[in-house]
Amino acid sequence: MTKKPKTAPAKPTEPALQKTNTLLLCRQEGKSDELVMAEAALDSITKNALTALNYSNPSFPGGTDINQSVHVIRGKAERVQAGDLSEVEAMLTAQATALDAIFNEMARRAALNIRTYLPVTETYMRMALKAQSQCRTTIEALAEIKNPRPVAFVKQANFAHGHQQVNNGVPPGEAPSHGNNPIQSNELLGAGHELLPDTRASQAESRINSPVEAMGKIYRAANRGGQGH
């Protein structure tokens, strides 16, 4: 009589996680349920997770869970905030590749219709060039992240209208009224001769005694017409 081999008991299978489109929220101490729901509705990560699901669900027949999507996007945001830009660089690289594929497909369709349907060709070419331009912009953004431009702080000179110039960083000069000698003597540059005082100014207004005596009266000819006798 042969003995049947003993079979190991089957391990209990874990219940599969059911995908749900219902966002699960936890009650928080000190906050009302309405406040918790408002914070979730206005949270950028939650809103972008819902938007991503609306566009990605057709590609995944089984669907994706909204709570897991929020968890994944929140983790990505935290890594970027910590300074890890590897996922951002990978995303831009993948997007540039997809845009390049769109460009080539639109250009191929334009070439197929160039001899028969010129308006259709123009439409496809316009879409191809838009994809090419966006691909170039994406690559430029990726290059800016990998090799950021150095920032140099240079003092600038502000030029106003006319012959006026304002230099930043130059301390303002002392006003003449704050100096030690409020009354300055009029002197020629490079010469020791003093300028003649202004005879039109009143002597009562001057605080400096002029060493030059006042001129006498000038007698003019009575006949101003210039006629001789």
What pLDDT shows up at residue 161?
59
What pLDDT shows up at residue 15?
46
* DSSP E strand stretches across the chain: 157-159, 165-167
Q: How far apart are CA 143 and CA 124, in angstroms?
A: 29
* Percent of the chain at pLDDT exceeding 70: 58
| pLDDT level of residue 55 (50, 70, 90 thresholds) | confident
C-alpha dihedral sign at 129, 131, 137, 140: negative
What pLDDT shows up at residue 152?
75
Residue pLDDT, tens place only, 11-38:
555 444 456 678 888 999 999 999 999 9
For residues 60 and 132, the model is more confident at: 132
**Span 77-91, mean pLDDT?**
94
Q: What DSSP element (H or E) covers 126? A: helix 118-146
pTM over 0.75: no
Which residue, among 123, 125, 126, has the nearest Cα to 108 in the 3D structure?
A: 125
Which residue, among 79, 84, 72, 83, has the nearest Cα to 48 in the 3D structure?
A: 72
pLDDT at 6 over 90: no
Backbone angles phi, psi at 30, to 5 degrees: 90, 0
Residue pLDDT, tens place only, 172-182:
555 555 555 55
Contact 53, 72 (CB under 8 A): no
Q: Quick one: how many helices (H) and strands (E) in the chain?
A: 5, 2
What pLDDT shows up at residue 195?
55
Residue pLDDT, tens place only, 69-80:
999 999 999 999
Contact 21, 70 (CB under 8 A): no
DSSP string, 160-209: -SSS-EEETTPPPPPPGGGSS-SS---B-TT--PBPPP-TTS-TTT--S-
Half-sphere exposure of 209 (CA within 13 A, CB side): 1
